[in-house]
Amino acid sequence: EDLVCFRDIRPGAPHHYLVVPVEHMGNCKTLKREHIPIVKRMMEVGKAVLQRNNFSDLNDIRMGFHWPPFCTISHLHLHVLAPASQLGFLSRLVYRINSYWFIT
């Protein structure tokens, strides 16, 4: 009810989804302690969508947010990518774990 999920228009992996809250939230920099439950639900939805799309190795996924100013839209969205082991060279850079521009 409070989240939507859809495929990324420029996928970085065979499975690349965005989980987005229906209610407007700025970006990951605006998150506060009270947002922890919705972020956890976003991750749960991402995992459930992967499983519904026949991807079961939840140890081979990458989830995270682009850190401003590296996000292209100003509405919170969680990237869900799988399998992480199949990310191409550019995707490994763009979705690099806990980099200056992508936080997990």
Q: Looking at the annotation, which residues are catalytic?
A: 77
75 and 24 Cβ atoms separated by less than 8 Å? yes
Quickly count: other Cβ atoms within 10 Å of residue 95's Cβ: 22
Return the percent helix, strand and coil in the chain, to nearest 5.
30, 25, 45
